[in-house]
């Protein structure tokens, strides 16, 4: 009985310690961000690695999500004789929710894992320790550019996802099913608000970018320096950042669209 209680206590203590550790790393990255501004080349390399290489999977996923929204939306809307609202349905669900959330989930899988594995392997190969020996701060040189690269790449990817998704919905709705294109676009323009929907979706994608990148960097940074440790850290990145994305999404949706 006493053992069970102390096991629970240990678990709580460890999770609080992990949270504190995470926050300390996040703070350290933010404080050292000035270095990234002085060496923009490092950041742009990371944007290229994180962003450009994720572009294809994001665009293809967006297209298919748009297709499916078009088909499913049409099926439901046609029951009520309001097929013309399909454009509105596709655009609103993409800009408000699916664009930022699905992009962030794909981003965690595509870019987050590679960040974790890269940093974990650097640690396992004692490259980070070697940097410290050479008086190069590994947080400044390795983590900060990756953090800003992720934060810049994520909103861009989410915007591309939403745009391609709207085009996908248009392809299915207008070209395949034959909804009137004028009604498709005008209903969409009437219902989608630039501030309420597009800007709030953009804010969501920035927050997700910060969250996913920080989780990925922290997992790599704290990985045990063994092959098994790196593989565990990679798994942890996907699990934690996915849960964090969904939780943050609920909180932000409640705040932004609550009333």
Angle ∠(26,30,32) on CA atoms, nearest 5: 120
Dihedral, 46, 51, 57, 61 alpha carbons, nearest 10:
140
DSSP annotation string for 18-39:
HHHHHHHHHHHHHHTTHHHHH-
If the CB atoms of residues 56 and 246 are measured against another protein, the closer one turns out to be 56
208, 152 contact by CB (below 8 A): no
Residues in contact with another protein, shown as a per-residue x/- string from 224 to 253 under the rule CB under 8 A: ------------------------------
Near another protein by CB under 8 A: residue from 162, 200, 222, 237: 162
Instruction: In whole angstroms, give the CA distance from residue 61 to residue 71.
Output: 15
DSSP classification of residue 173: I
Near another protein by CB under 8 A: residue from 55, 68, 71, 210: 55
- Contact between 163 and another protein by CB under 8 A: the answer reads yes
Q: Please, which of residues 180-209 interact with another protein by CB under 8 A?
A: 185, 188-190, 192-194, 197-198, 202
If the CB atoms of residues 55 and 131 are measured against another protein, the closer one turns out to be 55
- Contact between 159 and another protein by CB under 8 A: the answer reads yes
User: Please, where are the H alpha helices in the chain?
Assistant: 2-31, 34-38, 40-47, 53-79, 86-93, 99-107, 113-124, 127-133, 138, 144-170, 181-191, 200-221, 227-257
Minimum CB–partner distance for residue 11 and another protein (Å): 42
- Contact between 91 and another protein by CB under 8 A: the answer reads yes
If the CB atoms of residues 28 and 206 are measured against another protein, the closer one turns out to be 206
Structure tokens at 106: 């794909």
Positions in the binding site for another protein (CB under 8 A): 41, 44-45, 47-48, 51-52, 55, 91, 95, 152-153, 155-157, 159-160, 162-163, 166, 185, 188-190, 192-194, 197-198, 202
């Amino acid at each position: 009985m006493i053992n069970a209680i102390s096991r629970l206590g240990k678990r709580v203590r460890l999770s609080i310690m992990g949270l504190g550790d995470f926050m300390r790393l996040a703070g350290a990255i933010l404080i050292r961000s000035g270095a990234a501004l002085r060496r923009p080349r490092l950041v742009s390399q990371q944007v290229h690695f994180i962003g450009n290489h994720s572009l294809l999977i994001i665009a293809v996923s967006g297209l298919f999500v748009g297709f499916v929204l078009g088909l499913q939306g049409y099926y439901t809307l046609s029951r009520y004789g309001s097929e013309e609202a399909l454009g509105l349905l596709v655009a609103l669900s993409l800009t408000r929710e699916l664009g930022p959330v699905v992009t962030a989930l794909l981003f965690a899988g595509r870019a987050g894992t590679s960040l974790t594995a890269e940093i974990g392997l650097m640690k396992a190969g004692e490259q980070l320790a070697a940097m410290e020996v050479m008086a190069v701060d590994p947080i400044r040189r390795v983590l900060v550019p990756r953090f800003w690269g992720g934060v810049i790449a994520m909103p861009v990817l989410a915007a591309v996802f939403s745009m391609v998704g709207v085009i996908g919905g248009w392809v299915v709705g207008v070209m395949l099913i034959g909804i009137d294109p004028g009604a498709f676009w005008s209903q969409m323009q009437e219902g989608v608000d630039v501030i309420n929907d597009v800007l709030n979706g953009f804010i969501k994608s920035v927050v997700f970018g910060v969250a996913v990148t920080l989780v990925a960097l922290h997992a790599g940074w704290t990985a045990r320096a063994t092959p098994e440790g790196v593989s565990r850290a990679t798994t942890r990145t996907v699990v934690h950042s996915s849960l964090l994305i969904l939780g943050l999404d609920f909180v932000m949706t409640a705040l932004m669209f609550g009333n």
